[in-house]
Structures are given as structure tokens and as C-alpha cells.
Amino acid sequence: MSNPLLDFTDLPLFDAIRPEHVGPAMTELLGQADQALAQVTAPGFAADWNAIAGTLDVATERLGRAWGVIGHLNAVADTPELRAAYNEALPKVTEFWTRLGADEKLYAKYKAIDPARLTEEQRQARKNALRNFVLSGAELTGAAKERFSRIQERAAEVSQKFSENALDATDAFAYYADASELDGVPPDVVQGARAAAEAEGKAGHKLTLKMPSYLPVMQFGTNRTLRERLYRAYVTRASDQGDPRFDNTPLVKEILSLRREESQLLGYKNFAEVSLVPKMAESPTQVIQFLRDLARRARPFAEKDVADMRTFAAEKLGLADPQAWDWSFIAEKLKEERYSFSEQEVKQYFTAPKVLAGLFKIIETLFEVAIRRDYAPTWNPGVEFYRIERDGKLVGQFYLDPAARTGKRGGAWMDDVRARWLRPDGGKLQTPVAHLVCNFAEGVDGKPPLLTHDDVITLFHESGHGLHHMLTQVNERDVSGISGVEWDAVELPSQFMENFCWEWGVLKHMTAHVDTGEPLPRELFDKMLAAKNFQSALGTLRQIEFALFDMLLHSDHDPQADIMPLLQQVRDEVALLHPPAFNRMAHTFSHIFAGGYAAGYYSYKWAEVLSADAYAAFEETAGKDGLPSVQTGRKYRQAILEAGGSRPAMESFKAFRGREPTLDALLRHQGMA
């Protein structure tokens, strides 16, 4: 037990795990999993769900949990030593999962299980498992099977390298700005930049490409030259236009080629078809039609957004020919004039502790649970740990890692530490544990961190994923929480939670001015609400641009061809603001090249349809005070969150709403009705 990665008595020992523990732990756990696989596939072993789970699932769950811990540390506390240990273990781990998923003897055992002897949850898990065996190459033989296995290993390595290049290219950039260059940049950002430079013993103000540093300069900085400098660095990261050490161009071609080859081995035309097999959507054509239909509806509103910005830029800012690095600045200034407030003004009221308390209050009220501080070993002093209880009983726990820092991947995400599971090795109920990760700015001058309203929305979004994982009442691991949920429905609970960031009854409890403690004034909230759909159509077109590019890239595109002409073709069709030729957004598009969203980025827009329609049920049943109905919250919790992946997402949606979803609520919520 001297290796903390092999301690499964309770929560991971994050504070004790070192890079040197990775190799030995993986060797041990892979050995145990191999032994378990050999045991259950032996001719005499019964084709019985519980017998297989009690041997194989116990071993693979331990392997998955330990590897999840290592992967998490690699994302939030990256060091050269940990990265080396992770990359050394990656091929072995990938090889095992690939072999497991394609094991024809194990596939035969699952096929031989009598579904009549299973619970409903187990039947759904078995159905998913049989589908996944086919997608994992279990029906392939000989050279085709061998090649499929090599593809999985290589794809894992290349995706990891893509992710590393994106992180390293981001971390490698720093610009030390003079105070005179920072006119208009919010004071807390300027202070943070000065402190960052001082910490390195340098003069000036350290600006980076991390969001808390980059975005405020683009939105508020009046210095066009500085904006152009940062923009150019940001959009050329990890590409042929930037530092050649981090160029992702060859990796993109290899990833796409591997995916095309994999899909053809499985008997599909392209990777888009493979990607959609376990999703709600039926075909790439259906997705493309959905995206184009939404683009057609959003376009007239977006055209007005752009016309307004061009007029404003020319008349008020003296910018007759705005460039890509001007649009965020123009939009912010137009918003300030039109609605008489700025994001900077709003931010003063959203202190991190107060926002968190407000988030917890709405979760506790709506879902009839209690959230308490808890203790667990962590990887950084800024990480907090909590427990969720119902009727005094533990339901789930989560780590919250809110702050941006060097060595931590950008963006925000939810990940699972372990799933809810009625363990087959002793019958004990294992409660779920989640990670909620964000990248917010740190507090300055001893004050608490200040969040933008977008940051608040991000926090609510990730908590929605977390609740989906933690509030499940399903006891079968493979379909509990987010497991087994179709990928294009998995964003429903996260986007659903975002709606509460626009409810006065909720928002007023989560604000306190950083200096005076005064709550957000109603007048300022009304201005925010009026501005809520400011350029939402433009934002919709931007998401459609990414989603359409992703779907076409994985459909008809030649994997060895340059991706830039396709991206340009999509922009010509959808976009209204065309970036310069040097823009290489796709080279850091980690969602599709290093995450789970390949031929699935459309999920965000489809899930918005689901979540807007689900939230409309709360609007229809809200009390006179505007607060959401607890009864509707209970129905939502039971139909969507507690059911997890134990049935198709459409069935869960219909159990809650009584019908299939429609586009109407989304268009209304985004001011495009």
C-alpha cells in the first residue's frame, strides 16, 4: 500500500501521488485487469452478469479510477516529470482498453447472457456494451483487428500530443507591457499582471494568453497595437504560423487519417457515421440540416448585430475598417453605451465566495439536498471539497478547482472521480465523486476573486454536469450518472443550470460588492437582462461555424488535405465576421482533436434546444416571486438527473416534459423568436 495510487479505501490521495508512482501502479493494475479478463473469458466461466461484474468490472474500475487520477493531475498540475510518466503509461493503458473492447470471447459471453434475468438498468447496460463491442472492433479478425488496435494506441498518443502543444504554446507566450499600454484594462487585471511580472523579478506587466489575462485586454484595452499583438499570438498558437515546436498541423492530418481508417475497418464511410451510432442524432445529414436550419433562422438577427457594430465603430470609435482584434472591444463599448453598464462594473458584485453560496442555495432548494464543506487530500491549496446530502445521507462529493494557473489546462470541465455503483464485490453502495474545474482569475490585494457574469454562467454550467453525475439513483455503474448518456444529450443538465444566472430571485442572493458588501442593484440587473441577448445570434452563428466545420471535417473531407480551405468554405457559408488568413483556430480546437467531441460538437446546440425546452417548464410553473417551483425541480431531478443513462435520453426528456422537444423555447430565450 506504499503506492498511493493503489489505495482504493476511499478518496484519491492527491497530496501523496508522485510521478514515480505512475509506472508501478499501472503495471500492477493492468496485471490484475488482465488476470480478471482471462478468468471471465475462460470456457468454464458462466455467462452471468453479476459473476462477470464481480471479477472483471471490479478490476477495470480500479484501473479506470487510478488512470483517471493520473489524467486529472496531468490536466491541472502538469510538470515535465508527470507528463513523462503519463506518456510512458499511455500506450499500455490504451492497448488494454482497446483489447478489452474488442475481445471476441468477452463479447460472446455478453451475447450469451439471458436478458430476462437482468434488471432494467442491467439490460440497458448490456445493450450499450454489445453496441460498444462492435464499435471497438470485436467483430474484426486477423490483420484488420490488429490494425484497429494499433490505430487506437496511436490516436491516443497523437491526441495527447495535440493537447500538450496547445498548453505549451499558451504557456510559452508572455508580453511585458508598459503601464501606458494598458489604458482601459480593468484595474484588478492590471494589478494581477504587475504582480505576475514582479514574481518573476521583471519590469512591466505580464500579459499571457490565459483567458483571465487575454480577454479583458481584448474587451477593454484601448491600445489597438496591443490588442493586435495578443490576438495574433492567440489565434496562431500551436500552428504553422507560430512557434514550430508546437505546430499541430501534422497531428491534425494524422488524427483525421486514423479516424477515417478506423471507420472504414468498421464498415462505415467516414468517422461522422461512427460517432453518431451512440448519439441521439440519426445521421450526419440530419445534423448538417439541423445546423443549417438554425443558421438560417439566426442569420437575419446576426446581420443586424454586425451592421450595428460597424455603424457604432465608425461613428463613435473612429474605426472605419474594423479588424478581427477590434470586434470584442467594439462589442463591449456598444454594450456599455446601449445598456449603460460594463462587465467591469458588474464584476465588482460577483465575489467568488458569495457566488458559490448562491449556487449552493439554488441547488439545495431546487433538488432538496444539503451541501456541506468536507475534507479530502487535494493537489493544490486552492482546491475545495464538498459533500451533498439528502435526509442526512451522503449522496455525492465533489472537488472544486476554480483558479487559473501555470501548468493547468485552459477552459472549464467536469470529470468523474468515481461513479455510483452497488459494488458486486460485497454489495456496498459506492457514492459518486466529481471534479468541477474552472479557470478564474485569482483575487488581488487580499480581496476575494471577482467573477465576470460569464464566469458565473460557466460555474453553473459545470455544476449542472456535476449534479447529473452525483444525484443519480442508478446502481449499475455503466449507466449511472453521466455514464451511458448519449453524447448529444449530456449537455442538457449543464446548459439547463445556466438559466438561473438570469433569474433575479436567484441572482440577488449571490451578489455583494467587493468593497461595500451591497447587493447587485435591481437597476443594474435589468440592464444586464436587457443586454442578455446582445449579439446572441452572432454567438449562435459562431457555434454553428465550429459544429458544421467539425461535422464536414469528419464526413467528406480528405484527411490528408489542408483543413484551412474547408474552414474557409464553412465561414463563407455561415460567418459574418471573417477572421484574417493567419487565424488558425482549428489548431487548438481541443474539443474535437483531443476531447470527446469529434463529429459531436453540434451537441452543444442540440442540447441547448433540450435545455431551453426543459427550462420552459420552470418558467411555466414559477411562483409569484419568480422563484422556481420545487415540485418542478423534483420532477426534473427524478426524470432527468436520477435516471442517468439507464434509458434513452429522449425517454427521460419525455418523462419530464410529456412530449418531444421543440426549437421554440431556444429561439425565444435567445431573442430570435
Query: Vertex 178, ends 173 and 181: CA angle to 5°?
Result: 95
Cα–Cα distance for residue pair 400/386, rounded to 1 Å: 8
- Among candidate residues 61, 462, 486, 642, the one labeled active-site is 462
Task: Identify which of 43, 19, 179, 46 has the alpha carbon closest to the alpha carbon of residue 105.
Answer: 43
**C-alpha span between 501 and 507 (Å, rounded):** 6
Contact 498, 463 (CB under 8 A): no
Cell numbers for 317, please give them: 470609435
Alpha-carbon dihedral of residues 363, 377, 11, 389, nearest 10 degrees? -20
- Tell the burial category of 665 from Cβ atoms under 10 Å away from its Cβ (0-12, 13-18, 19+): buried
Cell 514515480 belongs to 20
Name the one residue in this structure whose C-alpha cell is 445598456: 339
CB 280 within 8 A of CB 286: no
For residues 450 and 225, give the distance between their C-alpha atoms in angstroms, rounded to a whole number: 27
- What's 324's DSSP letter? G
Considering only CA atoms, which of 137, 132, 138 is closest in space to residue 105? Answer: 138
**Nearest C-alpha neighbor of 647 from the set 81, 82, 77, 122:** 122
Residues 6+ apart with CB under 8 A from 286: none
How large is the C-alpha radius of gyration of the chain? 25
The three cell numbers locating residue 432? 459518486
Q: Does residue 95 carry a catalytic annotation?
A: no
Farthest CA pair distance, the chain: 82
Angstrom CA distances, 646 to 97, 121, 228, 314, stand at: 23, 5, 50, 56
Active site residues: 462
